[in-house]
Amino acid sequence: MTAIILLNWNGGQDTIECLQSLYQCKGDYCVVVVDNGSTDHSKDEILDYLSKKGIRHSLLQEGQQLTTKLQPGECLFYALSQNYGFARGNNEALRLLSNVAGYDHYLLLNNDTIVDSNFLQTLADFASHHPEVNVLTPLIRYYSEPERIWNAGGSQFWGFRKYYHANQCIGQEQLMGHKMVTFLTGCALFFSPSVLQSDGSLLTERFFFGEEDFEFCLCMNAAKKNMACVFDAVVYHKVSMSVANMPSLGRIYIYYLNRFVDMRLHLSQMKYACWSRLYSVYVVALLKKKMLSWGDARRFAKLILRESRIKDGVSATDFLNAQKCSSVAELERQ
């Protein structure tokens, strides 16, 4: 059986729509909805939906333990006391589930997705025929443009990543079977229990928002774990809803601060010194081309370099402060 984890934060309607599609799926699965300290009516909306649909469900508060394995079709609503961010929110559910053995696979799935009815069975069948592949992702298309590819995995190399088939239409691509990848997104992550850490967690909690999938892939590649995108398993993603209100410069700041901290922690001191100089040039050139003056782009890169030397992670406070900033000067004052 596959344990599917949906992380909700103030997104009750998206979560309900995702559940509606999940409960039309073929396969053997249970669902855990993790509420990441929502401040709206998400909890009541989701529990009301489950009751009206007659879906067997239960409520568990943070700190309580799961004593029995969830049954096929069952839904557990796990209420956390605060917003822990993407990585820890999912890890809390994985740690909870790992206390009760018996799940063949786990699936981390964004709540702002709609799934094809065959996607889960397709992933499970592929996993049973390819036990050497530890982590899978389905083909993820845009919800607003169902024939256009959002993510089909990609390659990861020295702090960069390249997406395969990004923004291509299905009719333009000959996608059959699967493709081995060295990078995949946390939007839809299907994996065997063998990749869990000893405490039952999967993702680093150093980063409040973003980077956790990149760091996960760094670890999987270092451990020589196999990963693949299965093209016949399809999910539709309502892209970037969770950061829609963040100023663009604040979002860019968090993205690059995440990456610099991550690479510093994964590379030797000498390799990081070389990488950070090269990547800084890339960041400056990119920002100068798209949105900043030459001077502001250099100040931005220097700020990232300085902050990444003294941080071992990017916290919720860093994330929230960045949302308020729309200029380099504001970022420097935070």
Residue 3: name the closest of 85, 82, 80, 99 by CA. Answer: 99
Element (H, E) at 221: helix 212-222
Note whether 291 and 303 are within 8 A (CB).
no
d(CA 23, CA 4): 11
Q: What is the pLDDT along the chain (334 residues), one digit of tens a residue?
A: 999 999 999 999 999 999 999 999 999 999 999 999 999 999 999 999 999 999 999 999 999 999 999 999 999 999 999 999 999 999 999 999 998 878 999 999 999 999 999 999 999 999 999 999 999 999 999 999 999 999 999 999 988 999 999 999 987 777 889 999 999 999 999 999 999 999 999 999 999 999 999 999 999 999 999 999 999 999 999 985 444 444 589 999 999 999 999 999 999 999 999 999 999 999 999 999 888 999 999 999 999 999 999 999 999 999 999 989 989 999 998 8
Burial of residue 241, with CB atoms counted within 10 A of its CB: 0-12 exposed, 13-18 middle, 19 or more buried: middle
What's the confidence (pLDDT) of residue 99? 87
- DSSP string over 124-182: HHHHHH-TTEEEEEEEEEESSSTTBEEE--EEEETTEEEESSTT-BGGG----SEEEES
Distance CA 50, CA 236 (A): 22
Prediction pTM value:
0.94
Identify whether the C-beta of residue 292 lies closer than 8 Å to the C-beta of residue 300. Answer: yes
pLDDT of 176: 87
Sign of dihedral through CA atoms 197, 202, 208, 212?
A: positive
- Cα angle 117, 121, 127 (rounded to 5 degrees) comes to 145
Domain 2-243: homologous superfamily in CATH: Spore Coat Polysaccharide Biosynthesis Protein SpsA; Chain A (3.90.550.10)
Report residue 27: phi and psi, to 5°.
125, 175
pLDDT of residue 100: 87
pLDDT score, position 243? 47
The strand pairing partners of 59, in sequence order, are: 77
